[in-house]
Structure 1
Amino acid sequence: MFKQEETVSFLKELLSINSPTGYATNAIRFLKSAVENIGYETEVTPKGNLIVSVEGEDTNATRGLSAHVDTLGLMVRSINSDGTLSLTKLGGPLTPTLDGEYCDIITRDDKVYTGTILSKSPSIHVFKDASKKERDIDNLVVKIDERVENKEDVQKLGIQNGDFVAYDPKVTVTESGFVKSRFLDDKASVALLVSILKMLKENGVKPKTNLKFIFSTYEEVGHGAAWIPEDITELLAVDMGCIGLDLECTEYEVSICAKDSSGPYDYELTTKLINFAKEAELNYAVDIYPMYGSDASAALAGGANIRAALIGPGVASSHGMERTHVDALKNTFELIKKYIEN
């Protein structure tokens, strides 16, 4: 049974932890503790991915389920003469949506300074091009919330090139059931997999096969699950469903992706998932995402000899100000549940 309030509460807590790709240690530590408190043993790979193993009825077969805890983010490219910070992207954030966002600058000795991401023409009263200037990465800077007037002042704070910049997720849950936040890609699916783990433990029922849950840390830059345990023969990536153009998916459905930029997903496994969704009378959509890649894509590209498929809750405005609905979370949870029971 899907525990909506519990899942959303866990999701909100996870969203509050900065984890731009390459700096996911704190989120993995939080997840590790949460999963161990449920009653599972865990392991962290040298790369930083968290793996949770669950014994099934058939111990000769092992399936994987993945979701990624890393998010989009930014990094300090250089310190400017006026004390602002120039930036480089981590992953593919929709940069026009970042203008005006609050952020944290995380130094190499784990000091955290706050700031604001701003256009280089931030005031309509001063700059003639304030409303027209492109909001690309080269025209955005961070203004630090400290009394700094030049590069040397910033360096004295311990800020340097290569420091991570994490921006505010702005988490809101409405009475009508919408979850609005950055980084629902893919922390919404991480929360769903933790709910699945909790369900298995509380019900005391073994899944049909061994399961290995992989919480990855570099998905946003393409190699999150490039390595997976060798005993996995089938991998279900739980990520997000896209919305827009000619796509069928909405914020209320579970998306089943037939093909993304890496090519088609396994025919038999994808068909099984569609049939599971029909049998469970779920609201679902089958779509193609030509500008999308997943942990399953990374595993296949890394040489894994597996069947692979991709599902996830419908998420609007991906890589910008994202939004989904609890109905999409429920439909995705139920499809995962159906998958591991068969």
Structure 2
Amino acid sequence: MSTYPNVAETKELIKQLVSIPSPSGNTIKVIEFVENYLQNLNVNTTRNRKGGLIATLPGANTKEHRMLTAHVDTLGAMVKEVKSNGRLKLDLIGGFRYNSIEGEYCEIHTAKGAILTGTILMHQTSVHVYRDAGDAKRNQTNMEVRIDAKAENEEEIRALGIEVGDFVSFDPRVQITDNGYIKSRHLDDKASVGILLQLIKRVKEDGIMLPYTTHFLISNNEEIGYGGNSNITPETVEYLAVDMGAMGDGQSTDEYTVSICVKDGSGPYHLGLRKHLVELAEANNIGYKLDIYPYYSSDASAAIHAGHDIIHGLIGPGIDSSHAFERTHEESLNHTEKLLYHYIQSNIVTY
């Protein structure tokens, strides 16, 4: 039996995932990547009408099911306006601030399939021209996309095929360091997707019979609030979202353990499932932190809000600088993957 988790393999898979542009609303290519990965493992998959992917591993108990979810959709933007100066005004997709994308390289994905590159800048960037270059607000009015093409007015931009509603994706700038860090945009939540794919691979390669039929939803609309709120079988008892743990002042989450969320902006997660996850972590020497994320919601909370009668929980690797220049460490990836490995082989909670 090979060593598990194989963190080098997990990091490489995450690198591949974050390198595929997939802002919410434009996730076809990354779903195809995940679908091909699972089909190569002979895992049955289906797509829902929203474009998400569902993989199912049969278990000994077919009357009670589990579902785990992670999302491949990311933050991004759309073209809001083709400006008279030959640049683009943006409308944001997901919950982040303009200052977090200032100076970022980007791609504009036209409706006809062309991809053009550009840079997101303040209109008042040049300090040699604009006295308020440092003080002007970073907002929709002042920030724009400079396209890498000879186009100096609205007509020339539209001649390139760019139009309102075209998606804009951000350069992930992914790097893996020699001392175990992976830093990139969109670790939320492609780090967790990579972990789930590695988990499924382990189950298939080792011929593990799970105690319950287990579904894995790779959702594609989480950043806009409704990715994981459907396609939950009536037999599903437990629903575990695998998403990032948020770090900052007052938080206990770090980059070296698995974060178990007890409450977020939607309210507390199921107490029994939380206790079960803690017990599994302590029994298997898995580093964990309990935490509350004040401005956060997950696919599990979306499922609860949609009216599903489920036990819901949330865990994930600790991610620094969420929705901006994100980073985590292989130790956090390892602990998250180990906890999930033991969780899917454990009994459903009864309290």
Q: Distance in 1 between matches of 2:231 and 2:297?
A: 16
Match of 2:250 in 1: 246
Residue type matched to 1:85 in 2? L
Residue type matched to 2:229 in 1? A
User: Structure 1 segments of 4 or more deviating over 3 A?
Assistant: none
How far did residue 97 of structure 1 move? 2.1
> SS of the residue aligned with 1:138?
coil
Q: Distance in 2 between matches of 1:140 and 1:74?
A: 12
Q: Distance in 1 between matches of 2:50 and 2:216?
A: 15
Match of 2:134 in 1: 131
Q: Which moved more, 1:91-100 or 1:295-304?
A: 91-100
Say which of 80, 105, 112 aligns to 2:83. 80
| Alignment check: 8 A CA contact 1:228 1:299 kept | no
Q: Distance in 2 between matches of 1:149 and 1:49?
A: 39
Say which of 140, 145, 153 aligns to 2:143. 140
> SS of the residue aligned with 2:141?
helix
Q: Distance in 1 between matches of 2:261 and 2:214?
A: 21
Indicate yes or no: 2:306 matched with 1:294: no
Aligned length: 342
TM-score by length of 1: 0.99
Q: Distance in 2 between matches of 1:236 and 1:139?
A: 40
Indicate yes or no: 2:26 matched with 1:36: no
Say which of 178, 183, 188 aligns to 1:180. 183
Residue type matched to 1:12 in 2? K
Indicate yes or no: 2:96 matched with 1:93: yes
Say which of 296, 314, 318 aligns to 1:314. 318
Residue type matched to 1:261 in 2? G
How far did residue 94 of structure 1 move? 3.1
Mapping for residues 146-295 of structure 1, pairs under 5 Å:
146-230=149-233, 231-295=235-299
How far did residue 228 of structure 1 move? 2.7
Q: Distance in 1 between matches of 2:253 and 2:155?
A: 50
| Alignment check: 8 A CA contact 1:254 1:311 kept | yes
Summarize deviations over 1:256-298 as a string: whole Å, max 9, x none: 0001111111110111011111111111100111100000011
| Alignment check: 8 A CA contact 1:73 1:93 kept | no
Say which of 8, 13, 21 aligns to 2:11. 8
> SS of the residue aligned with 1:78?
strand
Summarize deviations over 1:92-146 as a string: whole Å, max 9, x none: 1232121111100001111110000001111111111112222223321001111
Residue type matched to 2:54 in 1? I
Match of 1:114 in 2: 117
How far did residue 178 of structure 1 move? 0.6
Percentage of identical aligned residues: 43
Say which of 65, 70, 87 aligns to 1:67. 70
| Alignment check: 8 A CA contact 1:63 1:234 kept | yes
Q: Distance in 2 between matches of 1:219 and 1:43?
A: 18
> SS of the residue aligned with 1:105?
strand
What is the aligned-residue RMSD (CA, Å)?
Answer: 0.9
How far did residue 216 of structure 1 move? 0.3
Say which of 321, 329, 336 aligns to 2:333. 329
Q: Distance in 2 between matches of 1:110 and 1:252?
A: 40
Q: Distance in 1 between matches of 2:218 and 2:301?
A: 15
Q: Distance in 2 between matches of 1:307 and 1:236?
A: 8
Match of 1:339 in 2: 343
Residue type matched to 1:32 in 2? E
Q: Distance in 2 between matches of 1:127 and 1:150?
A: 21
| Alignment check: 8 A CA contact 2:48 2:231 kept | no
Q: Distance in 2 between matches of 1:114 and 1:180?
A: 22
> SS of the residue aligned with 1:249?
coil
Residue type matched to 2:268 in 1? P
> SS of the residue aligned with 1:285?
strand
Match of 1:27 in 2: 30
Residue type matched to 2:217 in 1? I
Residue type matched to 1:162 in 2? G
Listed as ranges, the gaps of 5+ residues in structure 2 are 347-351
Summarize deviations over 1:192-248 as a string: whole Å, max 9, x none: 000000000111011111100000000000000111322322100000001111111
Q: Distance in 2 between matches of 1:137 and 1:69?
A: 26
Summarize deviations over 1:138-195 as a string: whole Å, max 9, x none: 3210011111011011111111001100010000010010100000000000000000
TM-score by length of 2: 0.96
